[in-house]
Structure 1
Amino acid sequence: MIVVISHPTPIEGEFQTLHQLFDAGLEFFHLYKPGFSSKEIEAYWAQIPEKYRQKVSMHSDHLKFHSLQELEKCSVDYEYAMLSPIFDSISKRGYKSSFDLKELRNFLKGRKEKIIALGGIDEDKIEKIKEAGFSGIALLGAVWHSENPIRKYKVIKEKWMK
């Protein structure tokens, strides 16, 4: 499972890139525009082709945890939750990971819930994420801060699918 999260602020060519990501097989897109008004969110939504809208959800509608303790205490049923930052963030300067991969592997072993790795995810981290036992990855900085977001997504997707 790969989730791409929108850049929090508008970026040049964003919709063209988003359409190309969907064409490249993107299955889950989280719309994350914290500074947008509801009217701006509606306008953003209107620019997403109808055939892709079932793959789009609001990032705020999903659970996100920043520690194993938070995750353990959660009593809400969920399809999947994100755990962040697994590695030092690409998009948020100074947002450092405090996770130990061995501890994560022990925690995730045998869990029924889908836990998605978020934070600092790039192609060089895919094997470590798989070894830890995550159900999926969420991408923001790796895609939106890349010179070629589509190529970057495809490289990461190929490594994830192996």
Structure 2
Amino acid sequence: MIVISNEFPIDGEVNTMRQLLELGVILHIRRPLIDRGNLAKLIVALGTENLSQIVLHQQHSLAAELGINRLHYNSQHRSKIAEQAAIDKFKYSTSTHDINEFNALTGPWNYAFLSPMYASLSKPGYGVSTSVKHQITERQNKRVKLIGLGGIDQHNMAEVLALGADNIALMGAIWQTKQPIQYAIKCQQILKNIQCQKEY
């Protein structure tokens, strides 16, 4: 399961992030306005034992310095990836907003977000009339894993997976609840149950 950080700092978030990482979550650090120094402090505070689960959205040059091997590029910055990316040590993810964009992905991408699945929980108005969840059935690109994003919570995540997503990413559902760790555990259990059902 993937969790994306809140865009702005939240009280107690470092402790919450550490606990999420201990649960095995892949944590995307998305902080568009953060500077290099403060991002480095945040990463260090999360602990060196968790670096393999952390994904940087900004300040990518910190990755090699801090020992991070996962980088995310949004759709606007996707072209900035160097040609040697496919053979270097990093794992790459990106963002897409319709199935044609997802299907057209080539290059080093391990997975891509497809959003919005539902009305956003963290961005009021976003995704209300632009849901792409039913486009999942038009997926042709099987090489890149498809991660559903946008308005996903414990009540609708099963639908996204049933439509053909490989996994889901949570943001507002985690950061807007008073008990984010308990919520994450509940979502992980739902995912585990779905995977068990697929095996039979």
Count how many residue pairs are aligned between Structure 1 and Structure 2.
159
Q: Distance in 2 between matches of 1:46 and 1:127?
A: 34
Q: Deviations over 1:8-58 (max 9, x none)?
A: 1000000111111122332x1111111101111111111111111111011
Query: What TM-score, normalized to structure 2?
Result: 0.74
SS of the residue 2:116 aligns to: coil
Match for 1:35: what amino acid? L
Q: Gaps (5+ residues) in structure 2?
A: 59-71, 73-92, 194-200
User: Quick check: 1:82–1:115 contact (8 Å CA) kept in 2?
Assistant: yes
Post-superposition offset of 1:149: 0.3
Q: Paired residue for 1:117?
A: 148
Match of 2:104 among 66, 69, 73: 73
Match for 2:150: what amino acid? G
Q: Distance in 2 between matches of 1:52 and 1:92?
A: 28
Post-superposition offset of 1:130: 1.5
Q: Distance in 2 between matches of 1:39 and 1:102?
A: 41
Post-superposition offset of 1:102: 4.0
Query: What TM-score, normalized to structure 1?
Result: 0.90
Identity %: 26
Q: Paired residue for 2:192?
A: 161
- Larger C-alpha radius of gyration, 1 or 2? 2
Post-superposition offset of 1:100: 5.2
Post-superposition offset of 1:160: 1.2
Distance 1:103 1:67, change over 3 A: closer
Q: Distance in 2 between matches of 1:54 and 1:75?
A: 24
Query: Which contiguous aligned blocks of 4+ residues in structure 1 show a shift greater than 3 angstroms?
Result: 99-103
Distance 1:53 1:70, change over 3 A: same
Q: Gaps (5+ residues) in structure 1?
A: none
Post-superposition offset of 1:83: 0.5
Post-superposition offset of 1:110: 7.7
Post-superposition offset of 1:74: 2.5
Post-superposition offset of 1:59: 3.0
Distance 1:110 1:57, change over 3 A: closer
